[in-house]
Amino acid sequence: MCQISVVVEQEGKDGNEKVMEGVSSLEVTEAGIVLTALFEEPVVVADAYIKKIDFQGGLVTLVSQAAK
């Protein structure tokens, strides 16, 4: 099973904010990007888009549109 970490890129700041580790499902909905992991409540990242998916590194980078 492939599990991945999700971070949100922070404009004007060093580094990224980690949102969730061990993500097993990612769904783009009208409410935002819904992240699901085993044995955890889903997390919704509103007003964001997917910037990059690194399958080899196991990392999804999101960008918050609210930060613009």
The tens digit of pLDDT for each residue in 18-35 reads 999 999 999 999 999 999
| Number of structural domains in the chain | 1
What domain range includes position 20? 4-67
Q: b/e for 47-63, b at 16 or more Cβ within 10 A?
A: ebeeeeeeeeeebbebb
Q: Quick one: pLDDT at residue 55?
A: 93
What band does 59 get if pLDDT is binned at 50, 70 and 90?
very high
User: Which stretch of DSSP H or E encloses residue 54?
Assistant: strand 48-54
From CA 40, how far away is CA 44, in angstroms rounded? 12
